[in-house]
Amino acid sequence: MYRKNAWNKYASKEEVFAFAEGYKKFISFGKTERLVVKESIPMLEEKGFVNGEKVSSVKAGDKIYFINKNKNICAFIVGKKPVIEGLRILGAHIDSPRLDLKENPFYENHDLAYGDTHYYGVVKKYQWVTIPLALHGVVIKKDGTTVDVNIGEDPNDPIVGITDLLIHLAADQMQKPAAKVIEGEGLDISLGSIPVKEGEKESVKAGVLAILKEKYGIEEEDFISAEIEVTPAGPARDYGLDRSMVAGYGHDDRSCAYTSLKAILDTEDPEFTSCCILVDKEEIGSVGATGAQSLFFENAVAKLLCLQGSKAPVFDTRICFEHSKMLSSDVSAGFDPLYPQVHEAKNAAYFGQGLVFNKYLGRGGKGGSNDANPEYYAWIRHIMDEGNINWQSAEIGKIDVGGGGTIAYILGNYNMDVIDAGIPVHNMHAPMEIVSKVDVYEAYLGYKTFLIAK
Ligand code: MN
Ligand code: MN
C-alpha cells in the first residue's frame, strides 16, 4: 500500500509493539559494530545457521554465516535455485556516528583527568556535550589478549561526559556559528578527579589509569591498539505518550540491520538464495577491510559457490551478482514538521507510512547516487503491494540543501539491481534518534517479502 498510515493496518498494536521490544533490546546492547556482531551470532545459531568455514558442502535450505574481523556478518540461506542464479540481498550497516578515544587519550589539567576523542562520522558536535556517555570497545594487549571494555550501561556503573560552557559566561560562544560552538578538539571526556601519589607528585590521571589497571589489567600504552567508542549511555526507550516511537542511539543503521537480520532469521526454503550482510565503516565512506567495499562479501559468495561445487568461483561470483537483487537497507530522513523547509513534501518520507524507498540520494544533481532502474522499481512496487506492505517513496530532502549516501552504489557496481529501502528517522546522527515502531515493523515485513519474492 503506497503512502497510507500503517497503524491502520493493525486492529491491535500488540504485534507491532512486541516486535519493537526485541528491537529495543538489540540496540540497547549493540552500541558498537562488534557488539551487534556478538549478539547476532546466537540469534543466527538458534535458527540453525552454522559457521560457513566449518561446512564442506551445502544444499537447498541450508543456512550458513561468515564473520569478518568481528565487525561484519554475512548470512545466507541456500535457495532452491542454484546460487549462481542470483541472490536476494539485504545489506545494512552496523556502525553509527560516535566519538572514538584517540590512541594517546589521557591527560590531566587542574586536577581533572580527561580522555581525548576523535569523532567518527558526521555529527553536530554540540549535541554530544552535557549528556550521559558510556565507553565500549576492545583493548588488544601486546600479547594478543582482547580485553572487552564496557562502562556506563549498568545502572550502578559511573558514566562519563563532556562539559559545555555555562550560559552565564557564554556571551562570546553564543555568537559563534553552530559548527564552531563545540570544536572537534573540545570533545574531551571527563574521567576523574581524585589524585593519587605518583612518585613525588600527585596525579589525577594516574588515579584513572590505576582504576583501568585494576578493573581490566590494561596500561596506558595498551590504548594504542584499542577501539574504544564513546556512545550515549543507557537503553533505548519508548517515545511519545502513546509509546508509538522508539528513542535510542544508533537507529542509523541498526534499525535496518535488526529488521534485515530478523527477516532472514524468519525465512525458510527460499526460491533464490537469501543473503543478509551487515557492514562497518559506512559512516566514513564504506572503506577498508570491514566496509562495504571490502572483498569480504565477494569472497563469502565465492566460498558459497564453492560449497555448491563451483570450479570457477571468482567468475561465477560475478555472474551470480549480475543476477542478484538488493535492498540497500538504510535509514531515510523523516519529514520533520518542525523543519518543513528542508523537505519537498511530495517526495519526503513520513513517520507511520512504512518502508521508505529512495530511488536515489546523492548531492548536487544526484551526485554519487545509485539511482535505481525503473524496471527494478516496478518489480519492487509489485512485490510490496502483493505482500500488503505499507511503503512510501522519498528523496533525502530538498534539492541542494544537503545530501547523503549509502552502500547502494557499491553493490550497484557489480551490475546488480539495487534500491535504497529503509526506515524514516528523526534527529539522524544525534545521540538520541527517533523511529516509529510501525515503520520498523513494516520494514521487517517488507524485507521478508523481498527475500521470498520470485
Ligand atoms: Mn545510514
Ligand atoms: Mn548515517
Which one of the ligands is nearest to 331 CA?
1
Ligand 1 geometric centre to CA of 397 (Å): 15
Ligand 2 geometric centre to CA of 406 (Å): 8
Ligand 2 geometric centre to CA of 283 (Å): 5
DSSP 404: B
Protein residues within 5 Å, CB atom, of ion ligand 2: 252
Q: Which residues contact 386 (CB under 8 A, 6 or more apart)?
A: 449
Question: Cα–Cα distance between 409 and 371 in angstroms, integer?
Answer: 8
pTM across the whole model: 0.97
Question: Cα–Cα distance between 371 and 292 in angstroms, integer?
Answer: 18
Question: Cα–Cα distance between 201 and 204 in angstroms, integer?
Answer: 10
Give the pLDDT of the chain (454 residues) as one tens digit per residue. 899 999 999 999 999 999 999 999 999 999 999 999 999 999 999 999 999 999 999 999 999 999 999 999 999 999 999 999 999 999 999 999 999 999 999 999 999 999 999 999 999 999 999 999 999 999 999 999 999 999 999 999 999 999 999 999 999 999 999 999 999 999 999 999 999 998 888 999 999 999 999 999 999 999 999 999 999 999 999 999 999 999 999 999 999 999 999 999 999 999 999 999 999 999 999 999 999 999 999 999 999 999 999 999 999 999 999 999 999 999 999 999 999 999 999 999 999 999 999 999 999 999 999 999 999 999 999 999 999 999 999 999 999 999 999 999 999 999 999 999 999 999 999 999 999 999 999 999 999 999 999 8
The per-residue pLDDT for 399 is 94
The per-residue pLDDT for 139 is 98
Which one of the ligands is nearest to 428 CA?
2
Indicate the helix (H) or strand (E) that contains 419: strand 417-422
Question: Cα–Cα distance between 146 and 365 in angstroms, integer?
Answer: 46
Task: Supply 248's cell numbers.
Answer: 535510542
Ligand 2 geometric centre to CA of 98 (Å): 11
- Residue type at 17? F
Ligand 1 geometric centre to CA of 211 (Å): 36
Which one of the ligands is nearest to 256 CA?
1
Ligand 2 geometric centre to CA of 231 (Å): 15
Ligand 1 geometric centre to CA of 408 (Å): 11
Which one of the ligands is nearest to 332 CA?
1
Ligand 1 geometric centre to CA of 284 (Å): 10
Task: Supply 168's cell numbers.
Answer: 552565564
Ligand 2 geometric centre to CA of 405 (Å): 8
Ligand 1 geometric centre to CA of 111 (Å): 40
The per-residue pLDDT for 426 is 98
Tally Cβ neighbours within 10 Å of residue 216: 15
